[in-house]
Amino acid sequence: MRSGPFSFVSVLSILFLSSSVFATDLNPPSLDSEGGAWPIRRQWTVAETSHFAEWVQHIFEVKCNGTREQRLAKLERVLTDPEMNLLLLAEFAGEGSNPQLDLHIIRAMHRVLDCAKLTVALSTYYSYRRALPWIASCVRASDGGDLRTAAYTIPSGTINSFEYDSAAQFIGDAITGTCTGNFRVELSGPNSQLSDTLPVAIGRDHLIPGCLYYLDGHVLILAKITRDGEPRFLDATIAATRDIYAFNGGSAITGLTPKNSAAPGNEYAGCYRGFRVYRWPIAEVDGAGKIVAVRRRTDNEMKEFGFSTEQYDKLEELTRHRQIVEDGAGVINFHQFIRMRLRTTHRFNLAAQLETAANELLTLLQQREERVQQAWRDVTANGPVPFPEEKFDGNVFTEGGRWGAYATALDDAAFRAKYFELMERVDAMIGWFDLRTDEVNLEALNEHAIWTHADLAAALLEAKKRLFGETTFEYLNSAGKPVRLSLLDVEQRLYDLSFDPNHPPELRWGAAPGSPEAESAREMPTPITDGTKIAMDEAFHREAYYRSLIRWEPDPSYLRGMITQGFPVLAKLDERLRQRWFDGPSPPLVPYDGKAAWLREQSAQ
């Protein structure tokens, strides 16, 4: 049995242990400028882009693992919280950095934020603080229509920080003048060398945090790449709340257009979706070291920073030959190609990944139980907490006060997200088994019985069932008595764990109505802001949609008129793997010691 007292080391403490001592500035100030929106003291270099990448990834890590307030942080909090913004630390900002941006400018950026404007807000803010030049393009639609849906767009000019008199004016013009149409500039189109971004090579040297991924009409900021080669992104909503999210993964990689070699001179028409790198500006200086101009780098100059068309070239190879030959293996889809290029892990231990995930999930459940007990003590002492119905300044995820202190809607969505992240990882590694069998560690999974991906899926499900069954914790019911649950129990109840702070612990932990576990539950209604009270069972029934989500939402929440069916619910691990990989058992006459052992024997001959 795997259980025990809760012990927790703050993720932020770990982050700051690694960030508290910075290496010597690899791009110290070397320039001198007079005038402009702000003093320019550095060039954009490869080292500087790595510094930018570290800054972006740190924001992402705190967005994912920080306090409730940090996970919900909007732009103002992101840029003014020293635990989120490394540029507020003198060592990271570096010698000659510009002072913190005025708060009224940050708030003005927030008021217009969307996905495209988030890319401008972060890159321009960083450029200002590190005393770097910055340029933004102005574009027009090829057909005179909507920039965001035009077949392609054409740069008609640029705005340049070196040519402005104030940071506020330049940043305001750069942000308001940018939309997703800025990313639709074709490589060989008119004025293409004035574009904001270029396609980037797929590899960890150049595809780093701070790069972008452009879908059709939507853009994401690459914020992290896992050891398994999975990208993670930052995103912003167009809702009035202007929230910033950190929950997009590899599934967002869609919509690329392959190179068309059959159209000489126009092979890359439409090839603007995909991974992009900023076209970093460069300052030109005179003999005395004074800056005399700031311009865009050319395509050729951008090769140092990873400019490459290979993602479109490889996609053409995939569409023509049904595979991409990479490192001696036939990759059968673009996501496998991405993982092959970006991974740092070359030996996948699926059993160990299951155990790590079980420990992480257990920690979250133990933290949740503390919140459940705090909520129950509060509502029994002080009365029920109003449900934030139809409020525009707070919903079940973001409401403050007593609801924010005791509800677990945000944490429950994060728990489900972590569970499904495990599912995606396992699913990808089963696919990897067909691609690189020798890189999948099967030792803890009865490797002699594993020949096909169906065998591996079955072995993983059996290992998960055993491990989740052994991973246990206790909660206290309404009568103050301990009830033991396993991670397997919680998986079965994944969509039944109530986040409502008014509900007794039994309901918070998904006890089925009428079950012996639920007998001790005490009735507690859920009030709404107008004073109406909704009976416990009815409130639980109407909150089902929010219990299905793996990400928080900015929209108003509803209770009385909420839908109770018809919304999508993700299949759990067992169902997903069976649907995807159980295409039949191993053939009857296979080598006795499994595929992995057989392949090792063949490669040794």
CA distances 526 to 66, 108, 350, 388, 540, Å, are 29, 38, 43, 10, 9
Nearest to 243 by CA among 85, 412, 410, 76: 76
Q: What is the mean pLDDT of residues 137-162?
A: 94
| pLDDT band at residue 23 under the 50/70/90 scheme | low
pLDDT at 339 over 80: yes
Chain position carrying tokens 């206790």: 474
More confidently predicted of 49 and 426: 49
| pLDDT band at residue 584 under the 50/70/90 scheme | low
| pLDDT band at residue 599 under the 50/70/90 scheme | low
Q: According to the model, what pLDDT value does residue 596 have?
A: 59
More confidently predicted of 289 and 78: 78
Can you give the pTM of this predicted structure?
A: 0.90
Q: Give kind and range of the element (H or E) at residue 457.
A: helix 453-470
The rounded distance, in Å, linking the Cα atoms of 175 and 173 is 6
What b/e string do you get for 434-453 counting C-beta neighbours within 10 Å, with b at 16 or more?
A: bbbbebbbbeebebebbbbb
Q: According to the model, what pLDDT value does residue 593 have?
A: 52
The rounded distance, in Å, linking the Cα atoms of 454 and 392 is 48
Per residue in 470-480, pLDDT (tens digit) is: 999 999 999 99
Give the domain ranges of the chain: 11-342, 348-548
| Range of weakest confidence among 338-342, 422-426, 433-437, 515-519 | 433-437
Chain position carrying tokens 């079980």: 358
